[in-house]
Chain A
Amino acid sequence: MDLSRRRFLQTAVLTAAAAGVTTACGGGSGKSGSKDSKDLKFWYWAGGLSDKVVADSKKHFSDVKLKTSVIGGDFKTKLLTGMKTAQTAPDITGIKGEDIASFLPNANRFLDLNSLGMDKLAPEYLSWKLKQATTQDGKVIGFPIDIGPCAVYYREDIFDQAGLPTDPAKVSAQLSTWDAYFDAGVELHKKVPKSFLINNIGAVFSMAVGQGTQRFIDEDNKFIGDQDHIRTAWTTAVKPYTLDIDAKINDNTWNAAISKGTVATGLGAAWYALDIQNAAPGTKGKWRVASLPSGPSNLGGSFLCLPATCANPELAFEVVKWILSPENQARGFADAALFPTSPAAYKLPELTGGDAFFGGQKTIDIFGPAAEKIPAAYEAPADAAVSAPYYSELTAIEAKGKDPEAAWKDAVSQAKQIAQRQGVK
C-alpha cells in the first residue's frame, strides 16, 4: 500500500514535470526559427473583416498555414494579454479604430509597415485614415480596413408626414447646417409628436467633434478640451435637448425605438446601416441617407497590424495587402458593410449599386464624397479617456435635467484631471 502509493506519487510528479517540459519546449520551438515561418496566427473579431474574403485568402495563399481566430469579448484586452509573450502573440491582428491611438506610444511593439512597402501603397488609401495609425516620427503601424464616414439616416415616410423634403439630394441641401437640421426636427416633432429627431445628444457631440481638425489634446500633448472648438460642439449638442427633439435613449431600447419610428433620424457611420437593418428589418425601404449637416465626420474604422514578434513579416504583409486590396474591400462592403479605405473601390459595382433597404438609393453618392473630405485630426493616445466625462455629463443633462452650463464646467474639470493622470500637460 505504502509502496504503491509512493510509486503513484512518483509517476504523478514525473508526468506533471514531463508535461511542463514539453509545453515549455513546444512553446519555445514554435518561434525559435528565423522569420520565414509559414504558420501565421491571425486575430480579428466577428464582423471586423469579411469572412468570405478571409476564407478566400486561405485558398489564395495555399502554401501559408493561416490560422484565423475570431476573438470574442473585449478584443483590446485580449490582444494586450496575448502580446505579453511571443508564443501567444498573433502574427497579424486587427485593432479597432477607437483603440489605435492608445497603441501608438508603443509603436515599437509593432512592425513599421512602411519598411514592408506601405509607403508605395499609401497614395491608394485615404491619407487622413493612414494618419490615425502613423506615429509622430512617421512610422505606420496599421493598414486601414475600413472607415466610418457619417451621414444622416432618415425615415422618408415620417419626413413625408411632416411635410419635409424626402429626396436625399433635397434633404442634404436643406439640412446643410446643424441649425437647419434642428429646425427640421422641431417641425417634424410638431407634426408627428411620437417621433423625435435624434436618439441622444451624445451622438451629436461625437459628430460635431469629428468635424473639426482638433480634438481634446493637441500634437504637443496639451489639453485643449476647454477651448472654443469643443465648446462649440457642446453647444450644438445641447440644442436638441433644449428644443425637446431629443428622445434621450441611452439604454438598449434603441432597437425598439428604431423599429417603431420613435426616432426619425439617426446620426451614424456607414456601418450604422447594418445596425438599423438588424434592429428594424420591418422598416425596409423606408430609410434614406443624406449628408451630415455642417460637413463630414468619421466614426470608427479599424486596422490590421503586424506585432513585432510576427513570424514572417513579408508574407504577413502580403496577406494583409491582398485582403485589403480595393477589389476585396469592395467585397467586404457588400458582405460585411465595411466601408473601403481605398477610393478606387468606390467605383466598383459592389458600391455603386442601389441598396434595397434604402429604397434603391445609391448611398455611395453620399458616403463617397464624404469619405474623401473628412478632416485629418490628431487623435492623442489619451483622447478616448479624456473625452469620457463630456459624454457622461451630456447623459446627466438628459437623465436628471442637469444645468448644461454646470455640466460643461464639471466635464472640463474632470477631463483636466484625467488628462493630468494620463500624463497630458
Chain B
Amino acid sequence: MTRDALTGSRIRERRVMAGQKQADLAKRIGISASYLNLIEHNRRRIGGKLLLNIAGALGVEPTALTEGAEAALIATLREAADDARLSGPEVNRADEFAGRFPGWADVLASAQRRIATLERTVETLTDRLAHDPHLAASMHELLTAAAAIRSTASILADTKTLEPEWRDRFHINIDQDSRRLADSAQALVGYLEADPEITPAANSPQEEVEAFLAAHRYRFATLEVTDGDAGAIETLIQTAPDLQSVAARHIARDVLQQIAIDAEALPIAGLTQALDELGPDPVALAALLRQPVARVLRRMATVPELGAGLVVCDRSGTLIFRKSIDGFVVPRFGACCPLWPLFSVLGSPGMVQKQRVTQLGRGYSSFDCYATCEPQNARDYNAMPLLQSVMLILPASPETVAVHDVGATCRVCPRTECPARREPSILNDGV
C-alpha cells in the first residue's frame, strides 16, 4: 500500500486522538458521516479543499495527513528492510506497519539506528591498525617474531638428520626470537593497557565530526540553497546522531559555517559548469569564478564526481578538517608528514602549489595535490593574521609529471635520509 493511500487511516487516527466522533467531524466539514467513513477506511481518495478542511478541523498540518508524521521513521524502517534483504510485497508495507504498531515500529527503528552506530564503531576499530602507527608496529613485530620461530621450530622438529652446526644455529635463533616475541607481546599489552588516552580516541570529537560529515557525503542540501534558513546549521547539529560530545558539536558548527559561506559565495551549479568548461584546474577556475583559490579547493571537494580528498590545517599545522581519499593515509594519531604541500605553503600565503605526490609505505598510489594558504579575516588592527592552509587531493591524472615522495607519518615511513624526519621509522630501525 503506498503512503498516499493511507491518508484515511491517518485521519481516523488523528480524529480518535482528538476525541471527536465521526459524525461530528463530518458535520463540521459538511460531508456525510458515511462518506467520511469511506475516506477513513482508505476507500475514497482525498485531496484538495476537503483535505485542507479536515486538517483544519483536526488542527494538524495537511502534510501530517498525507505524508504522515512518521516519514523519518518509515525511512529508517525501509533501511532495516533493505539491510535484512526483505523482499516481496512486505517491503512496501513499512508505512502500514508504522501506522498500526507505532510502538513496535519505534523499537525496530531505534534498533536499526543502534546497529548503524555499532557498525561504525567496528569499522573505526578495524581501521585502527591502518591508522595507529604504534599498534601497527607492535603487530608487525609480533608477527615477524612468530614467523621466524614457527619456521625454525618446524625445521628442528621435521628434519630427521640435521647437521649439528645447523641445529645449534637454529636453537640460538629460536632462543633470540622467543625472547623478542615475549618482549613485543609485553610491549603490546603495555601499550593497550597503559594508554587510556588512546582507546577512547577512537571516538574523539574529530572522528565524530568526520563520521557526521561522511554520513552526509560532505554535502548539505539545506546549506546549498540561497537565502538558506538561518537555523539550518543548528538543526543539522541537533539532529545528528554522530555528534555526541560538546566538542564535536563545536567543531561541526565551525565546519558547517564555512560550508554555508562557501556555498553562498560559490553555488555548486556555477562550479559544475565551470568544471565542465575548464576541467579540475583550481587556479583557472578561481580566475573564471572570481573566487579565492582556497574556496575553490574546498568546494571542489564536495563535487562527488571528482572523488577528491581534502585536508585543512591551522597555523600550528594541526589538521582541522579531513575528507579522506582511498590510498592517501592521513594519520589519526600523531602528526603528519611535513613534506605534504599542505604544510609547505604555510610559509608562502597566497601561493598555490601543485604537486604530484606518492605516499611511501603502503600502496604507492599517486595523487595530484593542490595546496594554498590564506590568511583569515583580520579581527583587529596590527594583529598577525591567523592562517589556514587547504590541500585538495585528486587521483593522479594520466599526465606524466615529476613525482615527489612524501610519507604519512615518520613512524611508518620507509624513506631513508629524509631531511624532515622527526623520529626513527619502525620500518628501518625497528620498534
A joins B in a complex = no
Residues of B within 8 A of A (CB): none
Residues of A within 8 A of B (CB): none
